[in-house]
Amino acid sequence: MTRKERYAFVLDYFKQHAPNAETELIYDNPYQLLVAVILSAQCTDKRVNMTTPAIFEEYPDVEALSHATFDELFPLIRSISYPNNKTKHLIGMAKMVVDKFHGEIPMTVEELVELPGVGRKTANVITSVVDNQPNMAVDTHVFRVAARIGLTLNATTPLATEKQLLEFIPKELVHIAHHWLILHGRYICIARTPKCDECGLKPVCKYYQKNVKPGVKAIG
């Protein structure tokens, strides 16, 4: 099986089984998504979703958040991982959006990564989810799942994974493929013990072929 054929199988599988995959973060607008994604670093979406309603009620827009003090915001996110840094990042982000971007969340990766608390992964998430831009955010799930299946070869950094995925995934599918891989990693191809018995990607998965059923030849 060629790499191209492996990609085709995987993308077809997800198209059929998860045609409406989307982020599990709850948000109403780009501002809310940006806050949620910054908070989601090293934290579950579920926990973030429990936290954001109070933040959005107190700070309904980026202008309001830009006036928050550390002591006001911190109690609202203290149950999330790294609350100190995230409090500072959120306030810093809001101030910069107001001062430098006229209160509008910028929609290019280059501009977004200027904001405190926003790295390449976050910028890719925002631009792909809000604007369907063909940017691939590589988190721990995407990194692991892509490598296990064999979509990436010897990719040792998130950036290498991103580049290899972008080389093979058609532009119009990149934004949804990001969710496919994340959700697959979160619920099926989990880190410690992947649920291969429940997985429809077995026929093309290199990990399965090598580690789970060494006597059974998968395709390719």
Q: Which residues bind ligand SF4 (CB under 6 A)?
A: 148-149, 188-189, 194-196, 199, 201-202, 205, 207-208
Q: Could you tell me the smallest distance in angstroms from the CB atom of residue 162 to ligand SF4?
A: 19
Q: How far is the CB of 195 from ligand SF4 (least distance, A)?
A: 6
Residue with tokens 């063909």: 134
Q: Which is nearer to ligand SF4, 166 or 199 (CB)?
A: 199
Q: Is 43 annotated as a binding residue?
A: no
Tell me the DSSP string of 41-96. TTS-HHHHHHHHHHHHHH--SHHHHHT--HHHHHHHHTTSSSHHHHHHHHHHHHHH
Q: Of the two residues 112 and 201, which places its CB atom closer to ligand SF4 in the complex? A: 201
Q: How many CB atoms sit inside 10 A of residue 82's CB?
A: 15
Residues 6+ apart with CB under 8 A from 121: 137, 138, 139, 158
Q: Which residues are catalytic?
A: 121, 139
189 marked among binding-site residues: yes
User: What is the nearest approach in angstroms of ligand SF4 to the Cβ of residue 193?
Assistant: 9
Residues flagged as binding site for [4Fe-4S] cluster:
189, 196, 199, 205
